[in-house]
Structures are given as C-alpha cells and as structure tokens.
Chains A and B, each alone.
Chain A
C-alpha cells in the first residue's frame, strides 16, 4: 500500500466531495441557471431563452405559492414541536420502566423503518372514509356517518400531520431515551436531598443535560423534512382544493404536470433555502449545546 495513502486528508475527502459535486452541486448550478430562463421540458430550445428575474417576480406575485409556503412553515412548526413533545414523553415513560425496557425501545423504533411512501399509503388506508380502519372503528361505537378524514376541507391537513408525527416521533424518543440513560445519578439525588421536587429536578438537571440530544434529533430530522412530500403526495396529492398543498408538492405539480421547469426551479430554490436554514440553525444550536455541556 502506498505510504502516502491515508496521510492526506484532502485525498480522503475528495471522493465525498466529488460525489456530492456531481449529484448535488452541479445540478443545483444548472437549475439556478434555468430558474432565469423560460425553460419548458416540452420545448428544449427554451433553455436558452433568458428571462432574467421574471420567474422570481412571478413567484413573489403568486398567491398560491405564498399560501403553500406559509402552510409548509406552519406544518413544520406544528409537526416538529409535537414530535419533540411526544418523543420526550415517550422517552421519560420508557426510562421509568425497568422490566422489558430494551424490547420496548426496539418496538418504538418500528416506524423509523417505514418508507415515507409506505407511511402515506398506510395512513391513506386507515383514514379512508369508506373502508378505513378508523371509520370502521368509530362505526362500532355508533358513528354511522363516515368522517371524511382526507377529503374534508379542515380534516385533511390534520390527518397528514398525524401520519407525519407517527412516522417521525421515533427518532426523538429513541435519541432522548439514550440521553436520559446517560444522565449521572449523583446530581439528581443531591437535588432531591436538598428538597427539589420532580419538576424542579426535570427543569434544572434533566432538561439541560438532554439539550444536546434534542438538537441532535432536530438536526437529523431537519435533514429530511422534505420527505414529507412523499406522504402528502400519496395521501391527498395536495387536495382537497389545494388545502394540503405544501411547497414540495407544488414544485412537483408545476415542474412535471405543467412542465414549467424554470418556474419550478425558482420554487425549488426557496425550498432548498428553507431546508438549509432549518438544518443550519439546529446544527449551530447543537454545537453550542455541546460546548456548554463540555464546560460543566
């Protein structure tokens, strides 16, 4: 083996950078260019039809886009907070169990293995107004009129959120449980002796210690927020009457159904900035929380 090999960090990192460059950076540069053209898939020569900022101007004027954008932000805010809350609750619950803890933890990881597309289909099946598990279950208790979980104007978004939360709470509960198991016993016992109640112990000792774990979970989760597209795509396709249209489903609709690549790429850039901002925010928080914990 060459002596130089493994001695130069640049050579070691180069393959990673090349792979990402080819699959992510170059396409993004290309799509950045097309977002300034009137490119339509059906008319290849329109690739050279430079229109300046017109796609972005159209974006700013487009009410549908801003509605979808606002809905996406709201969706992420609600879903991420609830996942964190439920995940924390489940972790605290399992942490109390002494018998069968490992088995429970394994079972809790179950939804992590489901493809988002499978989650979407599975919940489409459960929420189906006619044959769905949920309506059939309610039927047993006398609710004979079928509740339109996915076609009702107000219910559809909630149903999608339920699916999203089901699929992604696991990552929070598993990581927070790992954090809880790693907390040293001494400070907690000392606090108890000094007369702290359970809430005070949780707020002043457990929670600060869990912070890095919370940010790891949020960072990992923020990498994949775009995968909500799969779930929405299957469950409602953005309907009814665009009430569940998120920025990602809108990109797919404009890009592939309407073949309007330039405009879709302009939207893609907004969604990319959104995802990167989320990840960057949580990542810097993680670094800060880690540093704080190291000093203690």
Chain B
C-alpha cells in the first residue's frame, strides 16, 4: 500500500514536471526543424532533419533578411538594460526612504505607488501614444525606456523597502557616529547588505521590460525601436504563420531570460516574501 502511494506520488510529480516543461521544449525543438516537417500530418514526432536555417536568416549580416531579429535583439537589450538600471536607482532611493524615515502620508504614498503600477498597459497605451507623438518621442528607444522605468519603479520600491528594513538601523547609526556621512554609511554598509534583494528587484524589472508587449506594440513602429516581442509578430501573416521562424525567435527571447533568472533565483523568492511579510 505504501509502495503504491509512493509510486503515485512520483507519477504526479513527473506529470506536473512534463506539463511545465513540455511546451517550452516543443518550441525549442521546432526552432531547429524545417517548416514542411512541422506541418506534416500525421506528426513527425522525432525530427529526422535538423536545420539552423531560421537562425541564419535572422542573424545574417549580408543579403536578404526576412526578419531583422538581430536589430530587435539589440533594441531589446538596450531598452531593458537602461530601463532596469534607471528604475533600480530611482526605486532603491524610494525604498530606502520608506524603510528608514517616517513622514506624513507615508502609507498612502506607498499604496498610491503600488496602485499606479496596477494600471493595465493597454489602457495606458492610448493616451501615451498621443502624448509621445506630440512630444516627438514615439518610435524611439528613449520613449520606451521612460515608460518602462515608471512601470518598474513601484515594484522595485516594494522589494527594496523590505530588504532595507531587514538591516538593523543601528549599523548605519554606529557608522555615522564614527564620522561617516549618511551616504557613506549607505554606500558602504546598507547597500552591500541589501545587494541580493536589489538583484532580485533588478531581475523583475528586467523581465518586465524584456517581455512587455501591450505598450511597446503602440510606442514602437519601425526597426529603429521595435523589441523582440513586437518583432515576433513579423512571422505572423494574415493567413499563415511561419512556425519555425516564430519558434526560433522565441528561443532567442527566452534563453537570455532563463540564464539571467537562474543566476539569481535563490534571492528572487526571499526578495518577494521577506519584502512582503516582515512589514
């Protein structure tokens, strides 16, 4: 009886594991298969022809390029990188203020910032489109970076606030009585201690910028500023889809996200829970 229970348990774990992983694996495999094979009926489960055609198409430097994925990748990297750096800097200052100071309306401002983040991208995209067009920053990386900074700031404040609270106030106070300025105490003591939490916040900010679609689809128009999620739509024609190409650009999009997340995944969870629970 106990044996059966144990087998059932592991079977369930395996089933969930398959459910989580299989869609991704299928995309990955399809990225290296030629389109006719993907479209074959009945399905060809074990690929017998492998190809990197779609990848060479995307990244070819000379000649005809069907979808300029390299340019999209570069735009994505630039936009995600700068918006993350700026959002973390601004958000960290805010988080520090919420963790270390008492001031009037503190809780209300905190709640207000969080609620600002809840505004759905698609609802925000209409007025942003008009305003940015008037300001002349539509279809520029700068415009998208500004938007992502604002989207990422509230969540960064929430996370870093939790991490700064965990660091005893006394450490900074002692340093200051020894002659440090508040900034020196922050820079040399509190910042390194909050490092993992700031790393976690940075990953969340990066992932949001890297994966965002609703706003970018409106604010970016051409190859100059289109990011990967928008570029992905290039494989979608009115009636047909280039599945192999779609899968290939999906791989380009997901691999960096996975690598970066796994590097700091240990701190991700503690960042979310400590920041939330120990209020």
Q: Report A's interface with B, CB cutoff 8 A.
A: 1-3, 5-7, 9-10, 12-13, 15-17, 19-20, 22-28, 30-31, 34, 41, 90, 93, 96-97, 104, 106-118, 121-123, 125-126, 130-131, 133, 136, 139, 166, 170, 174-175, 177-179, 182, 212-213, 216, 219-220, 222-223, 225-227, 229-230, 233, 248, 251-252, 255-256, 261, 264-265, 268-269, 271-272, 275-276, 278-280, 283, 286-287, 290, 293
Q: Are B120 and A272 in contact (CB under 8 A)?
A: yes
Q: Are B13 and A166 in contact (CB under 8 A)?
A: no
> Interface readout for B10-53 with A: 1 if CB under 8 Å, 0 if not?
00110011011111101100100000001101110100000000
Segment from B55-63, B65-73, B144-152 that makes contact with A: B144-152
Kindly state whether residue B272 has any CB partner on chain A within 8 Å.
Answer: yes
Interface of B is mostly: helix
Q: Are A130 and B41 in contact (CB under 8 A)?
A: yes
How far, in whole Å, are A20 and B119 apart by their CA atoms in the complex?
Answer: 11
Q: Given that A19-B149, A118-B253, A212-B276 are known contacts, is A251 also in contact with B122, CB under 8 Å in the complex?
A: yes
Q: Are B126 and A28 in contact (CB under 8 A)?
A: no
Residue on B nearest A170 in the bound complex, by CB: B20
Q: Are B122 and A229 in contact (CB under 8 A)?
A: yes
Q: Are B131 and A27 in contact (CB under 8 A)?
A: yes
The 24 listed contacts between A and B (C-beta, < 8 Å) are: A5-B183, A6-B183, A9-B98, A9-B103, A13-B109, A16-B90, A16-B91, A19-B153, A22-B150, A24-B116, A93-B9, A93-B13, A93-B16, A97-B13, A113-B261, A117-B213, A178-B269, A216-B277, A226-B120, A229-B121, A229-B122, A248-B120, A286-B276, A290-B277
7 other A-B residue contacts (CB within 8 Å) besides A136-B42, A252-B122: A15-B90, A108-B20, A112-B261, A122-B24, A166-B19, A179-B273, A287-B279
Q: Are B279 and A113 in contact (CB under 8 A)?
A: no
Q: Are A229 and B214 in contact (CB under 8 A)?
A: yes
Chain B residues within 8 Å of chain A by Cβ, number = 92
Q: Report B's interface with A, CB cutoff 8 A.
A: 9, 12-13, 16-17, 19-24, 26-27, 30, 38-39, 41-43, 45, 90-91, 93-94, 96-98, 100-101, 103, 109, 111, 113-128, 130-131, 146-147, 149-151, 153-155, 157, 181-184, 186, 207, 210-214, 218, 229, 232, 243, 246-247, 250, 253-254, 257-258, 261-262, 265, 268-270, 272-273, 276-277, 279
Q: Are A272 and B119 in contact (CB under 8 A)?
A: yes
Residue on A nearest B157 in the bound complex, by CB: A16
- Inside 8 A of B22's CB, which chain A residues have their CB? 133
Cross-chain pair count, CB within 8 angstroms: 267
- Inside 8 A of A113's CB, which chain B residues have their CB? 207, 254, 257-258, 261
Q: Are B265 and A30 in contact (CB under 8 A)?
A: no
How far, in whole Å, are A265 and B125 apart by their CA atoms in the complex?
Answer: 10
- Inside 8 A of B149's CB, which chain A residues have their CB? 19, 23
Q: Are A251 and B123 in contact (CB under 8 A)?
A: yes
- Which residue of A1, A23, A177, A279 contacts B183 across the interface (Cβ within 8 Å)? A1
